[in-house]
Structure 1
């Protein structure tokens, strides 16, 4: 009885932590896009693909929050049923993420603080990390300790667009993308600290999740600066305005000197 009694507060504390973490992650994403809109850097006059991508992305944020809420204090049966929808949503999210990346690169409109060729490679690498962590979480669904941590890491891997809009990325060239990833890693780091305080050890799911996210940086850089990266960039931009934009040179800054 003593063992059962002492374990209950830890489980409750764990649930509270994961819910708070999910809220902070969602808030970071929404705040980044809201700030972008408030500063006039985005507009409702954007082309339809941008709006569809935004709706799909924000739809995932809502699904993510709902799933964490159901898992930590709601109905596990509903959590499992909604999980089937979430799995399908992952596929749509990946397709839209790749579509917007290719579209922006073809148009020659990549952000001036990213190398166009690196932008084209890094975004798919991020989506690959997201898929890998989500798939691992689904496979580990019967082990809730792994499942919930890997799921959080999966969404952390794609919060770059939100984080980036909160940072002065133009001032961080040529390390803008790298800094966004490293800031994102603060979230699994918080999970590790929580585990250490609770049990005196760090769950391996945080380690694997953080490692997967970290590897986006060197992997995307290596591919982008290789002949493979050259080939992919040339194939995507051929016959489009992006063809005239050097892949491994930063576009001219629109900011005044």
Structure 2
């Protein structure tokens, strides 16, 4: 529900700006910042719960699921934080918020795409789709502005770099130790 509220807010905010309701956009924006903080906590909690109680989707190796979700929510939080920090620079703000939202598409895509049919390639398919969405913004900039805004260099690079490091981190000794700790820690 909280993540769905984020998407609704993400759709509503540009509408407020387009209608000239900048004051409303700013007021609602602070609700968005609080919502993003709740998403950070809930995203981590849901991931740990899924690992601990063995309800990880079958198409994801457990180390990938844990690392992908933890890195994904950290990237989201970082990009939202950057978007809030750049809120007075609209061109940066809107692009960073778009990148933040793209960075958390994974769970939604996992429900929309026939992930089970991709077998062991499921994580790569998900990364490919997220990467395609991430590159759509810079492509639109090239079409409409004839250059890519610097915010996309930072936002898209962060998303793509996060996807590149997930596998190596997931199967590294510290990544596997974290997985084991989550799996074996008794519930409170």
Normalising by structure 2, we get a TM-score of 0.92
Paired residue for 2:5?
Answer: 59
User: Does residue 1:201 correspond to 2:150, yes or no?
Assistant: no
User: Are 1:126 and 1:157, in contact at CA under 8 Å, matched by a contact in 2?
Assistant: yes
Paired residue for 1:136?
Answer: 82
Paired residue for 2:97?
Answer: 151
User: Does residue 1:88 correspond to 2:49, yes or no?
Assistant: no
Structure 1 residue 149: Cα displacement: 0.7
Q: For structure 1, which runs of at least 5 residues remain unmatched after alignment?
A: 1-54, 241-257
Q: Deviations over 1:66-97 (max 9, x none)?
A: 21211233411111111111111111111111
User: Are 1:178 and 1:217, in contact at CA under 8 Å, matched by a contact in 2?
Assistant: no
User: Does residue 1:220 correspond to 2:172, yes or no?
Assistant: no
Paired residue for 1:112?
Answer: 58
Structure 1 residue 151: Cα displacement: 0.6
Paired residue for 1:185?
Answer: 131
Root-mean-square deviation (CA, aligned residues, Å) is: 1.7
Structure 1 residue 174: Cα displacement: 2.2
3-state SS of 1:87 partner: helix
Q: Deviations over 1:104-143 (max 9, x none)?
A: 1011121111111221111010001101111111111111
**Cα distance, 1:75–1:228 mapped onto 2, change above 3 Å:** same
- The structure with more radius of gyration: 1
User: Does residue 1:169 correspond to 2:118, yes or no?
Assistant: no
Q: For structure 2, which runs of at least 5 residues remain unmatched after alignment?
A: none
Counterpart-to-counterpart distance in 1, 2:18 and 2:133: 18
Query: How many matched pairs?
Result: 187
Counterpart-to-counterpart distance in 2, 1:190 and 1:72: 21
3-state SS of 2:63 partner: helix
User: Does residue 1:237 correspond to 2:186, yes or no?
Assistant: no
Counterpart-to-counterpart distance in 2, 1:217 and 1:177: 10
User: Does residue 1:100 correspond to 2:42, yes or no?
Assistant: no
User: Are 1:182 and 1:214, in contact at CA under 8 Å, matched by a contact in 2?
Assistant: no
Comparing 56-65 with 147-156, which one deviates more in the overlay? Answer: 56-65
